[in-house]
Amino acid sequence: MLDIRQILADPGAVQKALQNRRETLSLESVLSGEQELSALRKRWEALREQRNRLAEEIGRKKRNGEDVSARMEESRSVNTEIASLESELRKREEELQTQLLLLPNIPHDSVPVGSDERDNPEVHRRGSPRSFPYEPLPHWEIGARLGILDFDRAAILSGSRFSVLRGMGSRLERALSAYMLDQHTGTGKDRPSGKPYTEVSVPLLVRGEMLEGTGQFPKFREESFAVPEDSLFLIPTAEVPVTNLHRESILDEAELPIKYVSCTPCFRREAGAAGKDTRGLIRQHQFLKVELVWITRPETSYDDHEELTRDAEGILEGLGLPYRRISLCTGDIGFSSAKTYDLEVWMPAQGVYREISSCSNFESFQSRRAEIRYRPRDTKKPRSVHTLNGSGLAVGRTIAAILENFQEQDGSVTIPDVLVPYMGGVRRISPPGS
RNA sequence: GGAGAGGUGGCCGAGUGGUCGAAGGCGUCCGCCUGCUAAGCGGAUGUGGGGCUAAAACCCCACCGAGGGUUCGAAUCCCUCCCUCUCCGCCA
């Protein structure tokens, strides 16, 4: 959520930012709504003051045995006025709040202006794609031939966009999760932030307020799987429970940055994605993801964002997967984000780079919604923290990338060296019977 | 699921209708004292919004789990919901 004072201070700049985002919302009704609200609020406060004074006077006089019936009558009439004002006030407040919750974050100055994904500049490329002496197979073919990936059975269990991993496929998922978690909980000592990530295991079902806190609600409600019977929602990413871990609290500056890593299944309805990426592990209703979350100070958040992104890149480099980093332009950046880098891994069968991680700085957009603040050492007055997160990495897509990049002509797949210990020493997954 | 107890400031905890934004303690900060540290002594210390101001001081409004209600007046009484704890039952 944007700070209403920031909007008031420079509505032109905010409107400009919305335009850059290709967002058609206008600030006019927000501005007029806020103006009316503040007038109503002042009137209401004055009446409350009057009522409080009367109540105090009545109490005092009563103790002295004086007659207070006239004052009580007066107070009653003030109360009816307060009540009518209050209902109006509440209505206006809700209207304004609804509008504010639908306003996206303002992109950082360093974010390139652009219309859509075609305008996302590449920051850098690492690793070189292998050249294949044959037509490389897509990962779903490889997985099926190896007997480790089964979409047909998953469809019977749960419908489309679900998968079953079997044998070494399932083991590969576990190995990747463990490798990533180990890397992140081990990194940091030699970094500017000076500390490794703390691993957390969190609930996969959360209340709606948590999703509002991180920005998924109210705008993207239809993207979430719901359990209406219990008013709970399946998390679309670990970002939601992990960031909200510190909701409604004031942290000590000395605690910052707080760095978490969490491996969870993620659940997405993919409501707007009908017919898109219908094959393979790329777009599933359920997938495993290792998520990095930082809660940090505003002064360092952009340096921290670079560091977080480097941490995610470290996994791709460790696995030997070719990838590139792109910087999302104003027209493509996510609703809650002020700046986002996407990491895209090379997928040989399609001959394209595909998103495997998205690393964002939300500045105080989430922390204002979730009320996560810290007390600066010098000023003592609480300030909103900045929150960051990024995938480190999406495990399902990493499996897909490994199968495609490290496939061999005989149908086998070579396991990256760093994963071998996690695979129980297995260096290669081979087709059954070979 | 059944029975009971309870949710108060950064933390612990007192407070059953007005003088309570809230005793006391811990913590934190400032000062004093003291070879150092600790202890001791004195003072300060909730959050959000508004007014005034150069900035403060100061003043006003709201907040004692959330939302309603009763009342001139609610942390305190009533209702609903959420959560925590104890015991019993069930269970990975």
For the question of residue A279 being annotated catalytic, the response is no
For the question of residue A355 being annotated catalytic, the response is yes
**In the predicted structure, residue A187 carries a pLDDT above the cut 80:** no
- 0.90 exceeded by the pTM? yes
* pLDDT score recorded for residue A63: 84
| A262, A238 contact by CB (below 8 A) | yes
Ordered domains of chain A (ranges, CATH) = 4-101 (1.10.287.40), 117-429 (3.30.930.10)
- Taking the CA of residue A373 and the C1' sugar atom of nucleotide B8, their distance in angstroms comes to 22
* pLDDT score recorded for residue A71: 92
| A184, A261 contact by CB (below 8 A) | yes
Residue environment code for A55-81, b if the CB has 16+ CB neighbours within 10 A, otherwise e: eeebeeeeeeeeebeebeebbeebeee
* pLDDT score recorded for residue A193: 80
Query: How much is the mean pLDDT over chain A?
Result: 93
Catalytic residue among A283, A375, A383, A428: A283
- Give mean pLDDT, residues A340-360: 97
* pLDDT score recorded for residue A341: 98
For the question of residue A268 being annotated catalytic, the response is yes
Helix, strand, coil percentages (3-state) for chain A, rounded to 5, are 45, 20, 35
* pLDDT score recorded for residue A249: 86
Nearest nucleotide, CA A47 to C1': B61
List, for residues A69-81, the tens digit of each pLDDT value.
899 999 999 999 9
List, for residues A196-212, the tens digit of each pLDDT value.
999 999 999 999 999 99
Between helices A301-319 and A168-186, what is the axis angle to 10°?
140
- Chain B bases near protein Cβ (<7 Å): 10, 18-19, 47-50, 60-62, 68, 72-73
List, for residues A281-327, the tens digit of each pLDDT value.
999 999 999 999 999 999 999 999 999 999 999 999 999 999 999 99
* pLDDT score recorded for residue A163: 97
Paired with A345 in beta bridges are A323, A354
* pLDDT score recorded for residue A229: 82
* pLDDT score recorded for residue A49: 94
* pLDDT score recorded for residue A52: 94
Strand B proximity list, CB < 7 Å: A 5, 38, 41-42, 44-46, 48-49, 51-56, 58-59, 62, 72, 75-76, 79, 90, 250, 373, 375, 380-382
User: A375: pLDDT confidence band, cut at 50, 70 and 90?
Assistant: confident
**In the predicted structure, residue A234 carries a pLDDT above the cut 90:** yes
> Where is pLDDT greater, at A332 or A64?
A332
* pLDDT score recorded for residue A308: 97
